[in-house]
């Protein structure tokens, strides 16, 4: 159950280890008959060391959760914990393919026209209070966001559902208003809520109901145990989990004020697991990993960092100017010097991890002379102080980014230095994150340029950020608009053939690259610290708790 995240902010986690030794798990040796004289004793076979139960894993987080209800939460920390408490119909594997395995859907069938989805639910799923999970719970859950009284942030993910029906006790059918290629990936990935507990709660009151904070009950691998505000959230193993009891006895989600404190607790053994170690901190963690019983896992993050312009501003309306700015930025140097080489230069708003990634798009590599030429062709001439001018206005730009994100702060300083070479004056503005988000809210748009990042969803649909219809009330805060790409963005959502859809999205990516809708800076590499003896772990680029019920601590 993963939800598309709003912005890639400094809520990315890091990992570490503290584990108690676990006992048991080895089969006892069978008694052997006495070996006759003259015969060599048979060599004893090594004992099987399979998964063993036991242990509490302490997960570090700088972000505090807000509530535990997948239809209402909107932050990474809440989602991490919800992934352990709730189960969804469908999910994704480490290759980012949509799968039913390990989820509530036993069978999944789509109609030929792509508007009906029939799902049979596993028959052994139970909520944490012992009640069976069946079709009534699925219908109940999906009826909530379809209600006019629903005021949660997830409404758009369900707008295409015309109706949901119970076929029998363990079978449901979704009927869509129109074909929606991302429906199985996005809409079927939300945790199922218990009808028997919440059916009498008015939907208008559900977002504030005590269920979300006092005793959230799901059907996931772990059960909610305790939430000590500002300190930790603890979950314990669900003995009746439909996919098998977790090997870990419990997980403690520990809340720590800042990343430096988490690093210290990693080193001391007070935190076991921390995902999203900042790239500049990787050498520090590597220096104490062995002594602290840790190992590092890494992979390309499902995200990208960008420089975006307010295209309502006359300076940025001409795509030739945006292309020139990208030419003037040495993105390889940013990756090497700011990211310690732990990333890749980006050219499109999609990760190379995605099946829809198109590497064959227009690229605007570092070329200062080319940038100067293009700016001159766009009418910008150097003034007496070397700053470009046009129609009596200087090419001076305030670039905002969020305070406390050292990487982004460093990037803005580098942009100031590099763009000065082509006559563009950059004025860094480092502001609190909440203030920055308020500045780019729909209807406010109080910025000239910003450095931020997007955390990407499993589905590669780009329309939520770049479609014209998303300007006034959506996430297209730059005001970017390309009517031809709008048509393609609409059409790709109704294409069920994956190869054809990939081709369509590839054309969209090429168009966005040509327009330089953003200056796409880089794809970061993500680092997670975890116990050296943690087994069963698989690196999922979107879900740091992926398959946590299969994690176990190997005996030393």
CA distance 274 to 282: 12
CA distance 189 to 202: 24
CA distance 88 to 83: 9
Please report, to the nearest 10 degrees, the dihedral formed by the alpha carbons of residues 213, 217, 223, 224 taken in order.
Answer: 10
361 or 155: which carries more pLDDT confidence? Answer: 361
Report the DSSP pairing between strands 449-455 and 396-402.
parallel
| Strands annotated E in 380-508 | 381-382, 388-390, 393-394, 396-402, 425-431, 449-455
Res. 223: pLDDT tops 60: yes
CA distance 91 to 317: 40
| Strands annotated E in 139-265 | 161-168, 171-176, 222-228, 232-237, 250-255
Instruction: Give the mean model confidence (pLDDT) for residues 99-122.
Output: 95
The pTM of the whole model exceeds 0.85? no
Whole-number percent of the chain with pLDDT over 70 = 91
Q: How confident is the model at residue 87 (pLDDT cuts 50, 70, 90)?
A: very high
Res. 16: pLDDT tops 90: no
H/E run at residue 56: strand 56-61
Task: Please give the pLDDT value at position 56.
Answer: 97
Residue-range domains of the chain with CATH: 56-293+532-553 (3.40.190.10), 303-525 (3.10.105.10)
Task: Please give the pLDDT value at position 259.
Answer: 84
CA distance 483 to 460: 19
Res. 10: pLDDT tops 80: no
pLDDT tens-digit map of 450-467: 999 998 988 999 998 999
Task: Please give the pLDDT value at position 29.
Answer: 28
Task: Please give the pLDDT value at position 211.
Answer: 98
Indicate the DSSP class of residue 354: S
Res. 191: pLDDT tops 90: yes
Instruction: Give the mean model confidence (pLDDT) for residues 413-423.
Output: 98
Task: Please give the pLDDT value at position 97.
Answer: 86
pLDDT tens-digit map of 288-299: 999 999 999 999
Task: Please give the pLDDT value at position 5.
Answer: 37
Residue by residue, DSSP assigns 186-213 as: HGGGSBPP-HHHHTTS-HHHHTT-GGGT
Res. 552: pLDDT tops 60: yes
Task: Please give the pLDDT value at position 471.
Answer: 92
Task: Please give the pLDDT value at position 305.
Answer: 96
Closest Cα to residue 328, out of 429, 423, 447, 430? Answer: 423
Instruction: Give the mean model confidence (pLDDT) for residues 476-498.
Output: 96
Whole-number percent of the chain with pLDDT over 90 = 78
Task: Please give the pLDDT value at position 408.
Answer: 93
Instruction: Give the mean model confidence (pLDDT) for residues 196-217.
Output: 97
Res. 555: pLDDT tops 90: no
Tell me the CA distances in angstroms from 406 to 27, 64, 331, one per residue in order: 51, 21, 17
Q: How confident is the model at residue 276 (pLDDT cuts 50, 70, 90)?
A: confident
Instruction: Give the mean model confidence (pLDDT) for residues 305-325.
Output: 98
Instruction: Give the mean model confidence (pLDDT) for residues 300-307.
Output: 94
Mean of pLDDT over the chain: 90
Q: What angle do CA 78, 81, 87 make, to 5 degrees?
A: 110
């Amino acid at each position: 159950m993963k939800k598309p995240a709003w912005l890639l902010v400094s809520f990315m986690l890091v990992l570490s280890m503290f584990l108690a030794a676990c006992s048991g798990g080895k089969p006892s040796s069978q008694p052997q008959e006495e070996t006759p004289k003259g015969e060599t004793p048979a060599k004893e076979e090594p004992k099987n060391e399979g998964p063993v139960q036991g242990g509490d894993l302490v997960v570090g987080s700088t972000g505090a959760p807000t509530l535990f209800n997948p239809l209402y939460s909107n932050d990474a920390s809440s989602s991490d914990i919800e992934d352990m408490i709730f189960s969804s119909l469908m999910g994704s594997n480490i290759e980012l393919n949509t799968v039913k395995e390990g989820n509530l859907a036993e069978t999944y069938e789509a109609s030929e026209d792509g508007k009906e989805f029939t799902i049979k639910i596993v028959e052994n799923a139970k909520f944490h209070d012992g009640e069976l999970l069946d079709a009534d719970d699925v219908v109940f859950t999906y009826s909530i966001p379809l209600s006019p009284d629903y005021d949660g942030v997830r409404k758009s993910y369900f707008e295409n559902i015309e109706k949901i029906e119970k076929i029998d006790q363990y079978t449901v059918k979704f009927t869509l208003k129109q074909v929606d290629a991302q429906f199985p990936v996005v809409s079927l990935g939300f945790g199922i809520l218990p009808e028997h507990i919440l059916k009498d709660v008015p939907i208008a009151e559900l977002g504030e109901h005590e269920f979300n904070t006092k005793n959230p009950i799901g059907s996931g691998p772990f059960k909610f145990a305790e939430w000590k505000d500002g300190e930790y959230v603890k979950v314990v193993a669900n003995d009746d989990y439909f996919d098998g009891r977790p090997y870990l006895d419990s997980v403690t989600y520990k809340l720590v004020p800042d990343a430096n404190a988490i690093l210290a607790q990693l080193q001391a053994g007070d935190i076991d697991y921390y995902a999203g170690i900042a790239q500049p901190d990787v050498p520090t963690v590597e220096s104490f990993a062995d002594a602290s019983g840790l190992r590092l896992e890494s992979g390309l993050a499902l995200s990208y960092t960008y420089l975006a312009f307010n295209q309502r501003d006359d300076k940025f309306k001409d795509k030739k100017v945006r292309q020139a700015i990208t030419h003037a930025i040495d993105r390889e140097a940013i990756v090497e010097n700011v990211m310690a080489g732990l990333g890749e230069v980006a050219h499109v708003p999609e990760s190379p991890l995605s099946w829809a990634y198109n590497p064959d798009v227009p690229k605007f590599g570092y070329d200062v002379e080319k940038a100067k030429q293009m700016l001159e062709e766009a009418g910008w001439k150097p003034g007496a102080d070397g700053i470009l001018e046009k129609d009596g206005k200087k090419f001076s730009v305030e670039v905002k980014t969020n305070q406390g994100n050292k990487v982004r702060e460093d990037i803005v300083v580098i942009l100031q230095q590099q763009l000065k070479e082509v006559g563009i004056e950059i004025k860094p503005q480092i502001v609190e994150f909440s203030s920055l988000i308020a500045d780019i809210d729909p209807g406010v748009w109080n910025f000239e340029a910003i450095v931020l990042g997007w955390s990407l969803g499993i589905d590669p649909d780009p329309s939520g950020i770049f479609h014209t219809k998303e300007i006034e009330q959506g996430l297209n805060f730059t005001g970017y608009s390309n009517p031809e790409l709008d048509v393609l963005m609409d059409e790709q959502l109704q294409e069920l053939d994956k190869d054809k859809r990939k081709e369509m999205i590839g054309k969209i990516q090429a168009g966005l690259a040509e327009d330089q809708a953003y200056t796409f800076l880089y794809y970061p590499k993500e680092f997670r610290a975890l116990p050296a003896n943690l087994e069963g772990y698989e690196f999922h680029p979107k879900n740091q708790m992926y398959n946590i019920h299969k994690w176990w601590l190997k005996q030393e």
